[in-house]
Amino acid sequence: MEVVKTDIDGLVVLTPRVLQDARGYFVETYKEPAFHKLGITTRFVQDNESRSARGVVRGLHYQVPPHAQAKLVRVVVGVVLDVAVDLRKGSPTYGRHAAVELSGDNKRQLFIPRGFAHGFAVLSDFCVLAYKCDDIYHAESERGLRFDDSALAIDWRIPRSEMILSEKDLRYSCLSAVPAADVQIVC
């Protein structure tokens, strides 16, 4: 597995080995001992999958402690711009984001530690996105950031007029309004 560290500590892009022949391909997307060797000792307890159309922007979502979530995100079909925003109190990269193109073709995965908001924009006709979480979904712990917060300056690579957004995502506040209790503490 190829590992590329981002400019944000703990946030890494993983590209698994793909075995391909005339029949198709095989890829091992997760094997606990291999991830442990890479220093990723997260224990995943929930898998999620979503299908979205071109122009959909989901996020930026996170869960607050004690139900914060680490995620391992990948795209099965299609192309997305996957974005993670550092919300870890005391982090030198607090408020910064990393954006990675994930696709069914490149097989890249993004490991997002606890303490990050997460979102994605669909760049292909549709996508199927799958991700593992290290805590189950808790509606009462869910929070979010505005996708268009000027302080984050995220280029979603989709014109605003073509974005498809949920009412919930449109109601989220900017980073400057995130309550101190929502912020993770860097260990």
125 Cβ partners below 8 Å, 6+ apart?
53, 54, 78
Active-site choice (61, 62, 97, 118) = 61
DSSP assignments along 36-72, one per residue: HHTT------EEEEEEEETTBEEEEEEE-TTS---EE
Indicate if 36 belongs to the active site: no
Alpha carbon of residue 70 to chain centroid: 9
Residue type, 70: A
Residue with tokens 């193109």: 101
Write down the catalytic residue from 94, 131, 138, 172.
Answer: 131
43 backbone dihedrals φ, ψ, rounded to 5°: -100, 115
What are the start-end ranges of the H helices in the chain?
Answer: 32-37, 167-171
Q: Is 30 a catalytic residue?
A: no
Residues with a known catalytic role: 61, 131
